[in-house]
Amino acid sequence: MVLTPEQKHANKRNKMIETAAEYQLGSYARRFVASCLQQVIRAEAGADPRPFVTAVVNGELTQVARSSGFCACVTCGTVLPWKNSSATHGRLDSGHFLASRRMSILFEESGINPQCVSCNQHLSGNQGCYTTWMRFMYGQDEIDRLRKLKNTTVQFTREELVDMRLAYQARLETAIKLMESPQ
């Protein structure tokens, strides 16, 4: 029997819900859903067709040159491949503007952006530069909204987390296809 695309999707979703049941909600959210979103953030930035993107370099907002498949660290301007597959390049993370693993901001996309490992991990997010970038890109109202949201409690069901993961996987596939297609 040949399954329709809808049936295949339903089967995949049901299997993912079974897998999610093997984990605590927070563990599943961080291990599977957040990591998928972080890939999406980098892949969509890498698929961005613009040859220049805004980043903070030496404390100043500037335009950084990049090509398809590459992202600029928003807090220092270092350009790296979106996918960390090569030992010859530095690593790229998806840095969170607000350092927290709280569910309330874990999936807030405006607060997750490409950052090199040096800025994200060794400089604890390079907060001064990140704030400058966020203020320019999103405005003070969004910064205030994220800070307020950080102090709230949000809970997701397994089904919601699985649906989020499926949506992120679809976005990831789309971004990869965009990078692979001739410009």
Scanning 76-139, the segments in alpha helix (DSSP H) are: 103-106, 117, 127-137
Percent of the chain with pLDDT over 90: 90
Residue 80: what pLDDT? 95
Asked if 79 and 39 count as a contact pair (C-beta separation under 8 A), the reply is: no
pLDDT tens figures, 132-153: 999 999 999 999 999 999 999 9
Residue 87: what pLDDT? 56
Number of domains in the chain: 1
Asked if 81 and 92 count as a contact pair (C-beta separation under 8 A), the reply is: yes
For the cut 80, the answer to whether the pLDDT of residue 128 exceeds it is yes
Cβ neighbors of 60 (< 8 A, separation 6 or more) are none
pLDDT tens figures, 166-180: 999 999 999 999 999
Residue-averaged pLDDT of the chain: 94
CB-based burial label for 116 (10 Å; 0-12, 13-18, 19+): buried
Domain containing 173: what range? 5-180
